[in-house]
Structure 1
Amino acid sequence: MRRIGRRDIVAAILIALVAGAVFTSPPLEALQGLSLDILTALRWELVGDRRDPATSPVVVVAIDGETYDTPPFKGSPTQTWTREIGRVLTGITEGGAKVIGFDVIFPSSIEQSEIPFGDASFGSRLKGFDRDYLIALRKLSDGGKLVLGEILSNDHPDAPYPAQRLAVRNNVRALNVHTDTDDVIRRMPLSFSFDGKPVPAMAVELAARALDAKPETASSGVTTLAGYAIPSAVPNTLTLNFRGMGRDVPAYSFADLRACVEKGDTDFFRRAFGGKVVLLGTILNFEDRKLTSMRLSGGYDGTPGARCALPAPASTVQKARSDIAGVFVHAAFVRNLIERDAVTELGAPLRIILTIAFAAIIACAACMLAPGGALTTWLALTAAYAAVAVGAFVHALALPLTEPALAGLTALGMMTSYRFVIADREERFLRKSFAFYLAPEVINTMVNSGKMPELGGEMRNITMFFSDLAGFSSIAEKMTPAELVALMNEYLSAMTDIIESHGGYVDKYIGDSVVAMFGAPVDDPDHARHAVAAALQCRDRLAELNGSHPAFKGRGLAHRIGLNSGEAVVGNIGSRRRFNYTVMSDTVNLASRLEGANKYFGTTIMASEMTVTQSRGAFTWRELDMVRVQGRDEPIRVSEPLADKNQETQEQGIRAATYAKGLACWRARDFAKAAELFESAAGDDPPCRYFARRARALAANPPPPDWTAVNTLEGK
């Protein structure tokens, strides 16, 4: 994880502010509506709504396709339906409906027809046709049970014809809707101004009569109905809550209700309409269709209500549609008011703050993580935030959804660009400049701290690794410079790859020698075990190269490796102008001496007792001897690793056991017996041959009584 500096914090804040301000700005206000659409769809898909349509306080009487196909309406102009409409409305009112609202407008009467009919117009022949209908309207209106609808417009107003308006004593309310810039209805107007006074919209008027209350608008602009403060993100509007996607509102076919009147089934009207708000409107596939916030998942034109007299049409299966009949927009409006369930949207300040905060979190993540990790973080946080938003929307609170998500994605892109162009440029420069001189871990520490390397060190417990090619000078004399360079590059690359794969750090190359440490710069509690494993793999890898690589064939290269564990000073050591990350201590010197001691015993790897102990029993060892190396007075016990624990061959096990018996006889001054044991295993084992010679010499010339079993090695 990348460390964040002060400049990065400033950049993240600025990026979040820009992204948040852009996606909550007026030109992109459509995103607020899109959030409502997505939340409506997600709530329906994830939570749904199981309310029984029978409990709905609003029902719809639908002038539908069935009505147009059923006598006496089939083939007749709608202006001739008024008498039947009056009869059905009377039946609904007598059934106990609280109030009836018209979402259909009859702008003319059949009595006004100018079509010639004999020596007069057709309308004049039908004078008095609407008399019963107008009487029914007057009766219902006087009882407070009826409200007609109209469309207010400067260019194309649509209102009931004057006789109807007169019959209801001008008891008419506006059906206008509030359409967003993308032609989607998400909110509805609460009132309209006439002569400087607010007049409630149709749905508000119907809800007010149902609740027996009057809407009141305070000086702050908040409208209250029966104690319910209607939430308004956009002044003088209500945000629609399509909780049931239209399926929670029963829809009764006008044709069936007309037949029910003929049947005289008053009980059906009481069951269907008692205590309800009734909306009369059209449900047709080609007329008065509205796009709403249900458009993404699809809405429904209600749920077919119970039948009274006519059989149900053959095809009654409903499918979700992107648009719904306009009457269900008003039905949802009325229901939201009665059930106090309108959507509450956050005001602009809170939306901006929330969007900026989300973008800031993503910007910080993009500053700390790699692009892939930052993108994963954005996806995870967006999903988590969406879940929270859906949970809030279940309780009719609409949190902004698209604005934070898009602002966060933009912040991610901007921060990634900032890092590539500005912030990480210095990091790339440091890594590129020091990649061939410092350990990757040292570079990471330097980059994370934001500081260039400086002089200093610390005491660490480490394992030193020294290797050197045996007799390489004589081999090199027989090679051309090109051959020598190719050979050394291949050898050193192979050894370095193995060392680094086990967590080691190559300190330096000295000719054909490799100096490495385990346990620094990165802490490694198992540094001894990893160093021994690397040494064994280096031994095996050189054998492979000798057998298969063209540059090594016939060379017979062999190397010696010395391992020692202990305390050492590691850090940036050198002059003030030039220094290296390296190590200093007697632990280093002893590892170097052990590498050279291999030539006495003919071994490839020699490790000190400290390394054997710290490797924690991970390997099978053969103790070689007690030796005193040049520069040290204290003798040390040295051993050779044979293989991983319990992975040694049977021959290695027998040889190690024989060697241990011989070594015990040697230390007991039984040199003749020691010589016999060592010689029995000396066939292809250089340490046995080395000890067999020494044992025979001492058997022939016994040492003095003060002799100790310590081998003092001469030279390095």
Structure 2
Amino acid sequence: MENDRNRWTARLVLPGLILFSLLMTVLLSFTTPMQNLKLGVTDQLFELRGPIPIQDSSVVIVAISQQADQEIPQKYPWPTDLYANLVNNLDEAGVRAIGFDVIFDKTDNYSLSNDSAFAEAIMQSKKVILGASVQSEGQGRGQGSSSQITRFVRPHQLLRQANENPLGLVRTYNDLDSAIRKYILSTSYNGERYLSLGLEVLKLFKNIAPEEVSGTPDSFKLGPFEIPWYSNNLMAINYFGGPGTFPRYSFENVIDDSTVILASEDSSFQTNTFSDPYYGLKQSGVFEDKIVLVGATMPELNDLHSTPFAPQDAMPGVEMHANAIQTILSGKYIHHISPWFNLTLIVLLITLVAWAGRRYSGLGGFMTYFSLGILVVALTIFEFLEFRFILDVISMLIALTVGYVTTQSYEYVIEQREKRRLRNLFSSYVSPTVVEEMVESNKEPELGGDEVYMTAFFSDIQSFSAFSEKLPAKTLVKLINEYLSAMTDILTTHGGTLDKYIGDAIVAFFGAPVPQEDHAYKACVVSQLMQLKLDELRRKWRSEGEKWPEIVHYMRNRIGINTGKMVTGNMGSESRFNYTMMGDNVNLAARCESGAKQFGVYTMVTADTKREAEAHGNRCVFRYLDRIVVKGKTEPVDVYEIMGLREHMSDTQFACKQKFEQAIEVYKRQKWDKAIALFEESRELEFYVPNEKSFIHTNPSLVYLDRCKTMKKNPPPADWNGVYVMKSK
């Protein structure tokens, strides 16, 4: 039997190693350093491939350059009649589509007539795509597309009305390292879909009708083009080279005809770079049947970005549009490995290296690991150079490394060791039953927390400072240890989790780390069992005579309980942490414990705790106390006293509860005289009678008698809702 068990255990080792290595590989692959490394590898593949010649490219760039800013008399932003001149000249040169990587969202600084001229040129041309951008809060044009959309930046109304063509989005998508490797194909805003500048220009260039634009699960269809998705609304850009790869002409040269005088010219000497009949740009045919993209290359305009061929913010944004358009026109798309195929390769590599590590000696396992690593790198380079296919080489190398290290360092006893560590970690503050349940369910909390609906429990000894003054340190420690041991045994036996001791205080909770349906009920029952145990301890201490001073004979504790959503988990550092709770509802439980003193009760709970407890049992007898706003809060809560366990309650206590709650109803109706009479009756039935010797100073009936008498003399406002604001904790 033992041998059979060992054989089955041995067979499970390899699957366990593979599963563990796979999990670690996935976790490591999604860390920020690894993500950045993957992006860097992609750039290295482009560098290894080098630029691709584009002599026959249909894309030409007109640059808003520093040279143009020096030649044009006005400094940027230039009068928009210059753009009118640009559009007219490009029309004459036979251009087929003009895309502006500029957003004309403001009117001309010089004259409205300039905008009118620009609008007229756009209307006459019918070949212009104006730029727009969907921007997010705090986002410039260089931000990614994942944050919340807040506004749509577009050309002003005069230009929009003049242009029959749709707007093209110039928004960019930044990877984790802020470089741009993906191109946004479309974005939805206010229920409408807007295509990118590149796609709108291609539509115009190829006369693609709107109905020929659609998306499928695998690709984005644009007329004859099927663009493979990288992910939702993104395509991978195949960069054909670095800055300056596409033909580029400075803005001033394209507008330089007989109507324009540049800074280097005067009225007696003009070169007319564009319109000269012998060597002008119009005559040369450089724009004929082309796509012309107009965009900034001046560093001052902050439209320079990092790309695989321009790692230090060197490529103008307009050239990214050019590369995206050229990618689509050439059909030379970049393909990325699918997540499922990538996962299959990772599992295969882990299996091979784990099997080899267990099958062969240390050297044989290392040689397998090293050889597979070389093969993965070689395959990655080959796939990109031959098929423009990018493998996730970093994840595969991580898989090999994790699989190799895990296999070499694995010990079979780790499973039992982890269980022992878990028991040791929690056995000091969680019941053995809960520990065993956690071990069997593998629910060991990691550093961090989860929001859990549970019950917080606070307990504190009444007037503890008096004990500290009357008892020597060693005697005080012995007393507190005996008290805390008895209380903690009750807590853990009934499924509670000890958070911490704060001096004489006990902080605990029910419902975590293992969920409990009846956490509130258990907390309430435990509070009364603690009160009964403390009564037993008091009798014991009295029986021991002079061993304990008289103050010990009257030791009492107060308990506060609240139920609600709280954050629970391991809080602290990676090397040292505490399984604890935090949140607003935790603070409310603490306020219930301290606030119980004002009512002269020893267990005070919130309405949420009462409701949850009564849904799972009826051992506890609750008495309504008040609707209060605790110190540090603004919202009122109903609070209740747990008078005791039903089986231990006397007829007098039940009568007190009934009479007290009748008085409360009269009190809420502001019938002060009748309320006083009823509270006088309930006072005679109260279990706790004020006695300085036993530290009992008041009880709920006395509290309300004083309050009714005060309100009778100074009635509350007409809109009083019965809420009492606590002035102290």
Q: TM-score range by the shorter chain?
A: 0.3 to 0.5
More RCO (CA 8 Å, sep 6+): 1
Q: Which has the larger radius of gyration?
A: 1
TM superposition score normalised by structure 2: 0.47
